[in-house]
Structure 1
Amino acid sequence: MPRGVGPSTGWARPESGPDGDWVVRTVPGAQATKFYRCPGCDHEIRPGTPHLVVWPADETGSVADRRHWHRGCWQARTRRR
């Protein structure tokens, strides 16, 4: 099992891209209970909105490194400036 993926991360999966290695977890709308700000578009992710939680896959990442993204923003992140 890849580092950073296991029972403590929920249903997370490893993902690699030109911007590095990440751990990505899907948050269903029913489990989204807080407001977050997406770093991709700088808009709110409102409670009840399905989204992703993403953090660096290296072992130096901490809870403070986790970011909540809209799925489309995460998928388009390498095309943004």
Structure 2
Amino acid sequence: MDRVEEWPDGEWKVRALTGASSGKSYRCPGCDQEISGGKPHVVTWPNWPGGDEERRHWHTACWRKRLDRGPGRSRY
């Protein structure tokens, strides 16, 4: 189930994934490390028309701390 979160950089749709449904690996834009298949994480995208084309998979902790990053932080 998707939820909408409001952040200083806008509204985001967030979906928590258990990882059980996919063996696929993803690259977290927050830490640039791999999210291995089967590991719980979140997928997020901007809450505007067409925003789903910018879906990204994040470690849950990286998503929560993304605005704390300094210069060079991910734009997502």
Shorter-chain TM range is 0.7 to 0.9
Whether the 8 Å CA contact 1:32–1:49 is kept in 2: the answer is: no
Q: Which runs of 5+ in 1 are unaligned?
A: 1-10
Which residue number corresponds to residue 52 of structure 1?
A: 42
Q: CA deviation at 1:34?
A: 0.6
Q: Which runs of 5+ in 2 are unaligned?
A: 71-76
Identity over aligned pairs, percent? 51
Q: CA deviation at 1:61?
A: 1.2
Runs of 4+ deviating beyond 4 Å? none
Would you say 1:61 and 2:51 are equivalent positions? yes
Which residue number corresponds to residue 60 of structure 2?
A: 71
Would you say 1:38 and 2:28 are equivalent positions? yes
RMSD: 1.0
Match of 1:17 among 1, 7, 29: 7
Aligned partner of residue 31 in structure 2, secondary structure? coil
Alignment partners' CA distance in 2, 1:45 and 1:52: 10
Residue by residue over 1:4-54, the C-alpha shift from the partner in whole angstroms, topping out at 9 and shown as x without a partner, is xxxxxxx11000111110000011031232110000000000001000000
Which residue number corresponds to residue 4 of structure 1?
A: none
TM-score (normalizing by structure 2): 0.86
- Say how many residue pairs are matched: 70
Structure 2 counterpart of 1:16, one-letter code: E
